[in-house]
């Protein structure tokens, strides 16, 4: 039986230890990068022995793969799961998914943000998955009349994706321009309302379109 298959048969305390190892690795990879993280430091942060980490994951590559798989599953579950049929407001629905991801999984956000910047295989997979999901959503909006018939679906999806992921990645810089933590309920609601307005209505008065 391989280390991977053994992990699927763990129960109780052993499963909790496995989660602690994964979560400790996720936090360290997100803040310091995988290259600067050792199995020994992960074991110390998780409160387990180095031998237990090696037993379950064998090598750092095995641990990275487990973290990558977990991060991808979280992103797909929260952001890319199918929408409810005919949501009342599909823009707000997507916005709430992004804020949920940040509130409930901040280390996941930091980790895939690093992966996107580094151009790792995980970063490529997350980008392509979310881009395909976004294009499907914008095509649906176009077909059901929610979006204008003349929109460029590809760029509608890509612009929305850059707006969401870019904000999450540079949120530490954004906090210098706002009163309070970006992840606070007040600031997340403010951000979501601003993005919703931008996507629904734009930022210019329609009767002044000819003005500079």
pLDDT digits (tens, 9 = 90+) for 26-73: 999 999 999 999 999 999 999 999 999 999 999 999 999 999 999 999
The model's pTM is 0.84
8 pLDDT tier (thresholds 50, 70, 90) = low
d(CA 33, CA 22): 14
Residue in the structure block whose two tokens are 């037993």: 55
One DSSP character per residue, 36-62 reads T--HHHHHHHHTS-HHHHHHHHSSHHH
Rg (CA), the chain: 20
pLDDT (average), residues 149-154: 93
pLDDT of 83 above 80: no
Residues 6+ apart with CB under 8 A from 164: 94, 98, 195
Of the listed ranges 5-9, 22-26, 120-124, 182-186, the one predicted with least confidence: 5-9
pLDDT of 191 above 60: yes
Tokens of 192: 């979501």
pLDDT of 3 above 60: no
The DSSP 8-state label assigned to residue 200 in this structure reads: H
Note whether 41 and 60 are within 8 A (CB).
no
pLDDT at 14: 84
pLDDT digits (tens, 9 = 90+) for 120-136: 999 999 999 999 999 99
Report the candidate in 169, 69, 160 with the shortest Cα–Cα distance to residue 109: 169
Note whether 63 and 39 are within 8 A (CB).
yes
Distances (CA, A) of 157 to 74, 95, 107, 133: 21, 14, 25, 8
């Amino acid at each position: 039986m391989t280390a991977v298959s053994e992990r699927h048969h763990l129960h109780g305390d052993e499963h909790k230890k496995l989660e602690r190892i994964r979560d400790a690795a996720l936090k360290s990879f997100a803040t310091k990068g995988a290259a600067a993280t050792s199995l020994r430091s992960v074991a110390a942060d998780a409160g387990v022995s180095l031998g237990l980490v090696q037993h379950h994951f064998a090598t750092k590559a095995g641990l990275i793969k487990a973290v990558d798989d977990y991060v991808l599953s979280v992103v797909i579950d929260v952001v890319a799961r199918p929408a409810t049929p005919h949501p009342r407001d599909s823009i707000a629905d997507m916005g709430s998914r992004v804020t949920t991801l940040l509130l409930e999984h901040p280390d996941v956000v930091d980790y895939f943000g690093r992966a996107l910047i580094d151009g790792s295989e995980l970063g490529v997979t997350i980008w392509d998955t979310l881009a395909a999901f976004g294009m499907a959503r914008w095509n649906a909006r176009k077909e059901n009349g929610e979006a204008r018939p003349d929109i460029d679906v590809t760029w509608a999806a890509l612009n929305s994706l850059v707006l969401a992921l870019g904000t999450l990645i540079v949120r530490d810089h954004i906090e210098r321009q706002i009163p309070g933590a970006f992840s606070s309920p007040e600031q997340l609601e403010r951000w979501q309302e601003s993005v919703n307005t931008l996507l629904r209505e734009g930022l210019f008065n329609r009767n002044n379109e000819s003005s500079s």
